[in-house]
Amino acid sequence: MRIEAYERIFMILAGLMLVLGIVGIGVGALVAGVHVPSPAGRIDPRTLSTTPPFDQPGLRDLGGGKYEAVVIARAWQFQPNEIQVPVGATVTFTLASPDVIHGFVLTGTNANVMVIPGQISQVTARFDRPGEYLWVCHEYCGFGHHQMYGKVVVR
């Protein structure tokens, strides 16, 4: 069977694009640390505010420069909306929502996760420079969505 020259060129280019795409995914996952977060657990959204650790949202010192920030994302606020950590801290954000789907993206880091009712989401970020790192809801959640933000203050 004879394959035309232009068809052969197109097949080679398509194969190269496929290989480059797979290499790009591999580099993103292995070198850049890009990964798809999976749920850290399940929780009943109706009893979220009475279920540990979400019954006491806030920052917990785990020792050795490691912290856990338990955050509730609800329309249209994060609770708490500010945490303070020292330079060099590694913070694992544990998030849940009692109402609708929210997003959580932390500027200046690779922390980006969906907060879905019924699921516990976790994402970790390290803060090596002092300053303020803003987090926002990046999933439209209703009328007050534009007011849904918080921050990490690193000293």
Pairing of strands 131-136, 77-79: unpaired
98 pLDDT exceeds 70?
yes
pLDDT recorded at residue 30: 82
Is the pLDDT at 32 greater than 90? The verdict is no
For residue range 105-122, list pLDDT tens digits in order: 999 898 999 999 999 999
Characterize 119-133 residue by residue with b for buried, 16 or more Cβ atoms within 10 angstroms of its Cβ, and e for exposed: bbbbbbbebeeeeeb
Which DSSP letter does residue 142 get?
S
- Between 135 and 29, the higher pLDDT residue: 135
What is the predicted pLDDT for the residue at 37? 67
Structure-token match 């790192």, residue found: 133
Q: How many residues does the chain have?
A: 155
Tell which residue, 127, 124, 105, has the closest CA to residue 114.
Answer: 105
